[in-house]
Structure 1
């Protein structure tokens, strides 16, 4: 999310970060929360794969991605408390 705050919005910059996040989530024991997070990230990777490497997310997309990442983080943190 820090990259989005810093206005890093190109496919070239965001794609590797989301791939790395997916790989790290895959190391965690599956749960409803991690599955939901993985699904959201997978959808974002599909979106980025359909864009040119030099394209940037628009404001609406940035807001949605930020929301999805923050929501996924919060779900994950709650699952640790259980």
Structure 2
């Protein structure tokens, strides 16, 4: 009976050890995923800033080009008359 109790206790200890190891690994992986998620989020925010800046530059360039074309057309009309 004592041998069976000792064997049972050993099995329980090993299961507890494995369970704790699994919990620790799960926590480590969760922290790793959260860190990667934060890096990805920061990267997305950075890309959004770059795209916003690029769109603003394109809008300014479009406005400038429309203004230049409009003024050239008006000047051509004045010169032709």
Higher helix share: 2
Q: Higher RCO, 1 or 2 (CA under 8 Å, sep at least 6)?
A: 1
Q: Report the structure number with the largest CA radius of gyration.
A: 2
TM-score w.r.t. length of structure 1 = 0.30
TM-score w.r.t. length of structure 2 = 0.31
